[in-house]
Structure 1
Amino acid sequence: IVMREPSVVAVDVRTDDVLAVGKNAKAMIGRTPGSIVAVRPMKDGVIADFDITATMLKHFIKQAVKSTTFSKPHIIICIPSGVTEVERRAVEDAARQAGASNVELVEEPMAAAIGAGLPVNEPTGSMVVDIGGGTAEVAVISLGDIVTSVSVRCAGDKFDESIISYVKKKYNLLIGERTAEEIKIKIGSAFPTEDNDGASVEIKGRNLVDGLPKNVTITAEEVREALSDPLALIIDAVKSTLEKTPPELSADIIDHGIMLTGGGALLRGLDSLVEKETGMPVHVADEPLDCVANGTGKLLDVNMPASYYKANEKARK
């Protein structure tokens, strides 16, 4: 992996000029004057602003591809398994406008499973739960194809929103996205854990009663309560996928378990929660944040079967 950047762009609303992209733009969230906005051009895993997405991709391509020999590279883009044909085409068009010579679309759970080292080509059922920023993807894979899948637009970003809403409702305190993310990383959990029980963190925000800055202390138990609703949606998606899985593949999942990938897999106790709710053994990938990227890289390196690009074929129909 040569580059890791968040999909955030800072724009001057007076001139529509792009001021910063990626980490530099994310650092501006909640700290900009009225003339500058830090936006996420991709929301819930799909394009929300086509032009800004194309500009962002062009910036990332230029940053990653130094040689002029590959100035128009072959690109594989991962998309949620539940996107529409219109959304697929929008992603492909944005990549071409950004300078890609050839664009392939791959469903995220397939890339995540490959990156996690699951035996996707074997005649055995492999189940992956990939929790990113915009979506949670649950899929059962066998013989190089997705047998059944569920995609919910509820993942890391919704975790942050739930923390913001909880703090606002309980403490009359308004906090920003960055603060919510820090709370999630420091003391967030899906299930009680020994290393997190009793943990707390002091947070700063704006008192909604008098408008003045205020400090409060929030506990790990409170954060777990704040995250309960979005986590319930993900658990429902896992159960729904299991219910639609053919019996022979279900037997494989009982034997081999469920693999958690994506940034959401780093949430403390998530594996314990999924295991408790499903009765299946649950594993967290060695490098959950990198699984989708590593899986996509493997697809570029070798000549994979056409079934991997099923999402792209659908887009062209």
Structure 2
Amino acid sequence: MNKNFLSAFSPKEVGIDLGTTNSLVFVQGRGIVFNEPSIVAVSSKDEAIVAIGSDAREMIGRTPDSILARRPLQDGVVADYRATEAMIRHFIEQVSGTVRFKKPVVMISVPFGVTSTEQRAVIQATMKAGARNAIIANEPLLAALGAGVSVHSSSGSMIVDIGGGTTDIAVIALGAIVASDSLRVGGEKLDLAIADFLRKSYNIAIGEHTSETIKMRIASALPEYHPLVMNVIGSALKTGLPQSITIDSNEIYEAIQGYLKDIVQAVKGVLRETPPELVADIMEKGILLSGGCAHLKSLDLLLREETGVPVYVVEDPALCVTKGMGVAFKNLNNVSKVV
């Protein structure tokens, strides 16, 4: 990304998909301009901000005790207000420069189940970070817009958005969420489950980068007849020395299946709450699967087996919410009641 080029213009509208794991930034007229880890590095001595985003991520597990890498959001909501404000300010400055003729309107995505207090924390952090106005938008509705769903149609649509910190499930019709659920379960919980499994089963400790790599390479939502294998290097708990082990995808399935069952039960619960007419629409169109975890191997098959409803992974699932912001900005008058 040419940051100087981006900073040469003062955007009127900026969308930030504020995620637990990664945050994506959309600028009206330019599209998605960057994707950075939701991490802030701070000094343990004076709490000064040392680095944000990609630079901060490189410090995880590699920094001296004087530098702490923090995730401003946990389970999709603000856990560290000051770090969240700093991160949002960083994103705004990346696209508009430190000197702006006019502050931008900033749209921030939040999980559907957040409380009014949690919403206020996001709004306050966004305004203090330099926004002229802050718009709070529900992630499942943005994901539906980004997937090309006509949210104002009388025909029902169902979307399951699985991000780093949360899973949002929603049935949408006539511009409203008819039935929904939100779980504080996402990719990070799966990563932690994998690390916990290896610690208990192999007496080995691994970092979050390694856990995420295992998830992306060999994790599966269903057991496999021919499981994939992977060599993993971590630290032996007894000696602290490097240790190499070989694991397979069925072991990882055992590690994460508890969280997958939670997601399945939540999807079933939303279907049970959905009016019969809309259930018929969903059976015809299928369930749309979005978010960074949508590509987890066989997750679509698991949901299809458990619900009896076709399941489709949307195009560019990790970008769906951010793309939806572009649709929302273009039709803000029409979707203001929705988002």
TM-score with structure 1 setting the length: 0.94
- One-letter code of the match for 1:23? S
Question: What is residue 286 of structure 1 aligned with on the other side?
Answer: 315
Q: Secondary structure at the match of 1:260?
A: strand
Question: What is residue 213 of structure 1 aligned with on the other side?
Answer: 242
2:222 to 164, 187, 191: 191
Q: Percent identity?
A: 46
Instruction: Describe the shift of the 1:204–1:51 C-alpha distance in structure 2 as closer, same or farther (beyond 3 A).
Output: same
- Following the alignment from structure 1 to structure 2, what is the Cα–Cα distance between the partners of residues 171 and 130? 33
Question: What is residue 338 of structure 2 aligned with on the other side?
Answer: 308
Point out the more displaced range, 21-30 or 140-149.
21-30
For structure 1, the residue ranges without an aligned partner over 5 or more in a row are 310-317
- One-letter code of the match for 1:225? E
- Following the alignment from structure 2 to structure 1, what is the Cα–Cα distance between the partners of residues 250 and 119? 40
- Following the alignment from structure 1 to structure 2, what is the Cα–Cα distance between the partners of residues 171 and 181? 18
Q: Secondary structure at the match of 1:265?
A: coil
| Runs of at least 4 residues off by over 4 Å | 66-71
TM-score with structure 2 setting the length: 0.88
- Following the alignment from structure 1 to structure 2, what is the Cα–Cα distance between the partners of residues 70 and 239? 50
Point out the more displaced range, 270-279 or 66-75.
66-75
CA shift for structure 1 position 198: 2.7
Question: What is residue 151 of structure 1 aligned with on the other side?
Answer: 182
Find out whether 1:17 has 2:52 as its counterpart: no
- Following the alignment from structure 1 to structure 2, what is the Cα–Cα distance between the partners of residues 176 and 67? 35
- Residue deviations 1:213-271, cap 9 Å, x none? 21111111111111101111111110111111111111111111100000010111110
Find out whether 1:90 has 2:125 as its counterpart: no
- Following the alignment from structure 1 to structure 2, what is the Cα–Cα distance between the partners of residues 71 and 42? 28
- Following the alignment from structure 1 to structure 2, what is the Cα–Cα distance between the partners of residues 205 and 183? 12
Instruction: Describe the shift of the 1:227–1:88 C-alpha distance in structure 2 as closer, same or farther (beyond 3 A).
Output: same
- One-letter code of the match for 1:44? D
Question: What is residue 136 of structure 1 aligned with on the other side?
Answer: 167
- Residue deviations 1:10-53, cap 9 Å, x none? 11111212111111111221221111111101110100011110
1:61 to 92, 99, 107: 92
Question: What is residue 293 of structure 2 aligned with on the other side?
Answer: 264
Question: What is residue 257 of structure 2 aligned with on the other side?
Answer: 228
Instruction: Describe the shift of the 1:119–1:90 C-alpha distance in structure 2 as closer, same or farther (beyond 3 A).
Output: same
- Following the alignment from structure 1 to structure 2, what is the Cα–Cα distance between the partners of residues 168 and 275? 32
- Following the alignment from structure 1 to structure 2, what is the Cα–Cα distance between the partners of residues 47 and 258? 29
Point out the more displaced range, 276-285 or 197-206.
197-206
- Following the alignment from structure 1 to structure 2, what is the Cα–Cα distance between the partners of residues 206 and 248? 55
Question: What is residue 193 of structure 2 aligned with on the other side?
Answer: 162
How many aligned positions are there?
307
CA shift for structure 1 position 211: 2.2
Question: Is the CA contact 1:127–1:141 (under 8 Å) kept in the aligned structure 2?
Answer: yes
Q: Secondary structure at the match of 1:88?
A: helix
Q: Which protein is richer in helix relative to its size?
A: 1
- One-letter code of the match for 2:151? V
CA shift for structure 1 position 144: 1.2
Question: What is residue 313 of structure 1 aligned with on the other side?
Answer: none
Question: Is the CA contact 1:187–1:201 (under 8 Å) kept in the aligned structure 2?
Answer: yes
Question: What is residue 58 of structure 2 aligned with on the other side?
Answer: 27
- One-letter code of the match for 1:60? F
Find out whether 1:202 has 2:231 as its counterpart: yes
CA shift for structure 1 position 70: 5.9
Q: Secondary structure at the match of 2:270?
A: helix
Q: Secondary structure at the match of 2:338?
A: helix
Find out whether 1:109 has 2:140 as its counterpart: yes
- Residue deviations 1:135-155, cap 9 Å, x none? 000000001111111000001
- One-letter code of the match for 2:270? T
1:247 to 276, 280, 285: 276
Point out the more displaced range, 64-73 or 96-105.
64-73
CA shift for structure 1 position 69: 5.3
- Following the alignment from structure 1 to structure 2, what is the Cα–Cα distance between the partners of residues 136 and 182? 20
- Following the alignment from structure 1 to structure 2, what is the Cα–Cα distance between the partners of residues 27 and 168? 23
Instruction: Describe the shift of the 1:71–1:184 C-alpha distance in structure 2 as closer, same or farther (beyond 3 A).
Output: farther
Q: Secondary structure at the match of 2:106?
A: strand
CA shift for structure 1 position 301: 2.2
